[in-house]
Amino acid sequence: MSGFEIIKRSKKYSARQGKIMTPHGIVRTPNFMPIGTRGAVKLLSSQELKQAGVQIILANTYHLFFEPGIEVLKKFRGLGNFMKWPGPILTDSGGFQVFSLNEWRQVLDYGVRFHHPKTGKEIVLTPEKVIDLQKIIDSDIFMPLDECIPYDSSYKKAEKAVKRTICWAKQSKKAFRFRKQNRPLLFAIVQGGKFLDLRERCAKELINLDFDGYALGGLAVGEPFKETRRISKKIVSLLPSNKPRYLMGLGEPSQLVWAVLNGFDIFDCVLPTRNGRHGLIYIFKRLKKWRLEDLLKKKFYQKISIENSVFKNDKSPLDKKCGCFACQNYSRAYIHHLFKIKDPLGQRLAVIHNIYFYLELFKKMRELI
Ligand SMILES: [Zn+2]
């Protein structure tokens, strides 16, 4: 049966170790989702993701709606079959994308109206339609359509967005109907910009509606991290402790540690993949002993730029202690060379390593909780 179970709670912190049961398998928490917006975690195959230890990936309803489109996804009976990814998928609704990418959008009480990015055709997305699309994608964790506003929006604008987000969440819940017990999960998204009272109101109303999990949206969008901390620390304390909590869009490994220790369970971020493509590699520092407080207080990792000429003759792997495919097989010198000659294999190896690094960090945190 699908749901969430807490296995262990940290004595010192609010961190929890748990598992999310979904139709396509179990996700151990805390955990990290690599981003496969359009049904591809850039440069990597589904087999490589599995091999790197990935348990769940994130895809985006808005983008998949355009490419490959509904007909293809229907034909394949879902994105997992299409991309040969056997595990769980969380689908972001696309609210954020509609608001950030589409200049011609119009927010109406019943949904959003915008122009197709390529054909210019008018499209309307309603909360119900977004749920139906996620059914076609055969997602494991659905996100409802929400109104995502810039972090520095005015109180009035934020308040209006909160009202809509709550209203759309209600409609989404109505449209989300499954008879089978092993059904997907539906999360709700807490919005409210930088205003704590609005965030609190939004959280409380959504909790009353009883969702399978709760996400914090509209953060990690460029605001200073101390702001992210201020909002998320307060809101996480209001969220039910028996439901998974998702902090959307965070972030740097040190930020993720902070969020896990404050009670968040799942995360997604472009950093490991995007940085990898740019030759920026995450490497653990050698700590004598791994303890949660050290991860929180000490600099436990560094980033190196593999394109730097100091690696030209370096026979060691990216990280001597790393078990990833790249480190097991290739030297820094070779990956440096691949970046120099702009062969995509270099980027692939860097991304494989970075994803492995992120997942190792989460594995370590799970063991330490
Ligand atoms: Zn590695």
Mean pLDDT, all residues of the chain? 95
Average pLDDT of the residues in 264-274: 97
What pLDDT shows up at residue 298?
Answer: 82
45/84 Cα distance (integer angstroms): 9
In this prediction, residue 102 has a pLDDT band, given cuts at 50, 70 and 90, of: low
Prediction pTM value = 0.97
Sequence-distant (≥ 6) Cβ neighbours of residue 327 within 8 angstroms: 317, 318, 319, 320, 353
Q: How far is the CA of 287 from the centre of ligand 1 (A)?
A: 17
Angle between helix axes 196-208 and 155-175 (nearest 10 degrees) is 10
Domains assigned to the chain: 3-268 (3.20.20.105), 277-368 (no CATH)
CA of 47 to the centre of ligand 1 (A): 16
157/189 Cα distance (integer angstroms): 17
282 Cα to the center of ligand 1, angstroms? 9
Report DSSP state, residue 192: -
Sorting pLDDT into bands at 50, 70 and 90, what band is 97? Answer: confident
| pLDDT tens track for 16-56 | 999 999 999 999 999 999 999 999 999 999 999 999 999 99
**Measuring CA to CA, how many Å separate 49 from each of 54, 142, 324?**
5, 21, 11
pLDDT band at 96; cut points 50, 70, 90: confident
- What percentage of the chain reaches a pLDDT higher than 70? 99
Residues with Cβ–ion distance below 5 A, ligand 1: 322, 324, 326-327, 353
pLDDT value of residue 132: 97
What is the distance in A from the centroid of ligand 1 to the CA of 350? Answer: 8
pLDDT at 287: 80
Q: Which residues are catalytic?
A: 92, 268
Distance 325 CA to ligand 1 centre (A): 7
- Given pLDDT bands bounded at 50, 70 and 90, which one contains residue 321? very high
Query: Residue 115's pLDDT is what?
Result: 86
